[in-house]
Amino acid sequence: MNTTTRRDFLKATGGAVAATALTSAMYAPAYAAENNTIKIALVGCGGRGTGAAVNALSTSGPTQLHAMADVFPNRLQSSLKSLKDQFGAKVDVPEDRQFIGFDAFKKAIDSLGGNDVVLLTTPPAFRPMHLEYAVRQGRNVFMEKSFAVDPQGVRRVLAAGTLAEQKNLKIAGGLMSRHSPSIEACVRQIHDGIIGDVITCWSYRMHGPVGLGAKQPGEKEVPYQIRNYSNFTWVNGSFLLDWLIHNLDVACWAKNAWPVSAQGQGGRQVRTMPDQLFDHYAVEYHFADGARMHAQGRHMDQCYGFWGVVVHGSKGCAVLGEGISSPRIYKGWQPTKENQIWQHKGPDGLSYQIEHDQLFQAIRENRKHNETERCAYAAMVGILGRMACESGQMIRWDEALASNVELAPGLENLSFDGPAPVMPDEKGNYPVAMPGKTKVM
């Protein structure tokens, strides 16, 4: 699977452009005649970043892409060309505002003014550091998931969110399922008691394998691992976190609670690629009232696949989440047509666009808009599950959140010429967590 498909820029061009414009019009507030241009800096110019820039530039009111930053020059240039082709004069990024390197994010953020927006869309290991700097500099932020890869990162994100609140900055997070009208409506029905008390939530993402790119001739470890960030735990936090975060979040949203502990298992049953990925995960999360959430993540060929969330209540069940095009609710626990009692009606919109529409509207109207806490806690759910699976232990939320373990210590000093946080052995294999042996706290 291509790891950029979730925000693949190709999906935001052609026919999807018309859909984006239509969705913006549907959800456009009454500030279309606003004369103040909001400048945008894009930090991380891959598929997700370019898609986020498309959404930001498609919001109502004048906007302009002002600066771009990446560690890979070719990625920046490819993104810039695509955005120029689509938005023309709204993209004004001369060479002196095209920043390359690990400190490029600072230069891009510093080029903005106080009412402008930075899009933080690099691999998630860098999110806490980039968010901290953006908030210190007084910038509004859109940050893509996942928001941290370890508990220290989660705490840094939470602290940045608190400072942003004090500074009246607006922060949006890329949990786009939270902005899907159909999922919102379904969760509202659950909270209103249509299926009774929520007893069990099931979060799934099961499909074909995640690939690993070949190392380029002479390519060093740091650029290679960042380029293949889905395959290295220090960069993306694991398949369980970075690929299941939306449905973990939707399940907790439906339950209206965060878990207090977790235990689980995982490993590499069929995977032979020399990276760090487990090819299967199974986590049992516990809520304070005794209810449970089960998460399954698997990426294997020729296996049963499902992508969504199932919620069981005392009177019925619901099927919703990322991967489910039309949420439904049923009486009893058999999700059959004859048992269906609710289905969302009306336009669903493009949730990727809606999350940006709401952010830019909040900036223009100077309304509070800070999604940091729920984003950080959603990431912590995935991190907690990974810690439980990799260690084979029962892990408590409060103990995990207080942990000082870092997956990539000294990340602020990372360079292409230095060693990577993980290095291959003499056979080219990277270290893989071993349940019962790996220490996670």
Q: What is the band of 119 on the pLDDT scale with cuts at 50, 70, 90?
A: very high
Q: Which residue has the higher pLDDT, 257 or 24?
A: 257
- The C-alpha R_g of the chain, in whole angstroms, comes to 21
pLDDT at position 3: 38
Lookup: tokens for 186? 């379904």
| SS3 call for 116 | coil
Distance CA 108, CA 95 (A): 12
Instruction: Inform me whether the pLDDT recorded for 419 exceeds 70.
Output: yes
Instruction: Inform me whether the pLDDT recorded for 26 exceeds 90.
Output: no
C-alpha angle 199-201-207 in degrees, rounded to nearest 5: 160
Question: What are the residue ranges spanned by the domains of the chain?
Answer: 5-177+351-373, 180-346+380-413
Which residues are registered as beta bridge partners of 304?
A: none
Residue carrying the six token digits 């860098």 = 126
DSSP assigned state of 134: H
pLDDT at position 345: 87
Instruction: Inform me whether the pLDDT recorded for 299 exceeds 70.
Output: yes
Identify which of 69, 20, 81 has the alpha carbon closest to the alpha carbon of residue 41: 69
Instruction: Inform me whether the pLDDT recorded for 11 exceeds 50.
Output: no
**CATH number, domain 180-346+380-413, options 3.40.50.300, 3.30.360.10, 3.40.720.10, 2.60.40.10:** 3.30.360.10
Report the pLDDT averaged over residues 309-328: 97
Alpha carbon 104 to its chain's center? 22
pLDDT at position 412: 94
Q: What are the φ and ψ backbone dihedral angles of 415, each rounded to 5 degrees?
A: -145, 160
Report the pLDDT averaged over residues 105-120: 97
pLDDT at position 359: 98
Instruction: Inform me whether the pLDDT recorded for 244 exceeds 80.
Output: yes
Q: Which residue has the higher pLDDT, 20 or 222?
A: 222
Residues 143-181 have pLDDT tens digits of 999 999 999 999 999 999 999 999 999 999 999 999 999
Distance CA 50, CA 433 (A): 33
Which CATH architecture best describes the domain 5-177+351-373?
3-Layer(aba) Sandwich (3.40)
pLDDT at position 24: 39
Identify which of 439, 318, 390, 386 has the alpha carbon closest to the alpha carbon of residue 153: 386
Instruction: Inform me whether the pLDDT recorded for 9 exceeds 80.
Output: no
User: 138-152 burial, b for 16+ CB within 10 Å, e for fewer?
Assistant: bbbbbbbbbbbbbbb
Q: What are the φ and ψ backbone dihedral angles of 42, each rounded to 5 degrees?
A: -105, 120
pLDDT at position 7: 44
Instruction: Inform me whether the pLDDT recorded for 385 exceeds 90.
Output: yes
Instruction: Inform me whether the pLDDT recorded for 2 exceeds 80.
Output: no
Q: Which residue has the higher pLDDT, 307 or 18?
A: 307
Which residues are registered as beta bridge partners of 297?
A: 205, 281
Give the E-state strand segments of 252-349 in sequence order: 261-267, 280-286, 292-299, 306-313, 316-320, 328-331, 340-343
Work out the mean pLDDT of the chain and round it to a whole number: 92
Lookup: tokens for 109? 């953020």
Do the beta carbons of residue 359 and residue 38 sit within 8 Å?
no
Distance CA 311, CA 253 (A): 11
Q: What is the band of 86 on the pLDDT scale with cuts at 50, 70, 90?
A: very high
Return all residues near 217 (Cβ < 8 A) that are at least 6 apart. none
Percent of residues, the chain, with pLDDT higher than 90: 90
| SS3 call for 66 | strand
Instruction: Inform me whether the pLDDT recorded for 205 exceeds 50.
Output: yes
Instruction: Inform me whether the pLDDT recorded for 88 exceeds 80.
Output: yes
Do the beta carbons of residue 11 and residue 20 sit within 8 Å?
no
Return all residues near 34 (Cβ < 8 A) that are at least 6 apart. 60, 61, 62, 364
Determine if residue 95 is left, alpha or beta; phi over 0 gives left, psi from -120 to 50 gives alpha, anything else beta: alpha
pLDDT at position 35: 55
Report the pLDDT averaged over residues 35-48: 94
Report the pLDDT averaged over residues 210-222: 95
| SS3 call for 382 | helix
Distance CA 400, CA 384 (A): 7
Comparing 1-10, 28-37, 70-79, 291-300, which segment has the lowest mean pLDDT? 1-10
Identify which of 314, 363, 416, 378 has the alpha carbon closest to the alpha carbon of residue 144: 378
Question: Structure pTM?
Answer: 0.91
Distance CA 163, CA 216 (A): 42
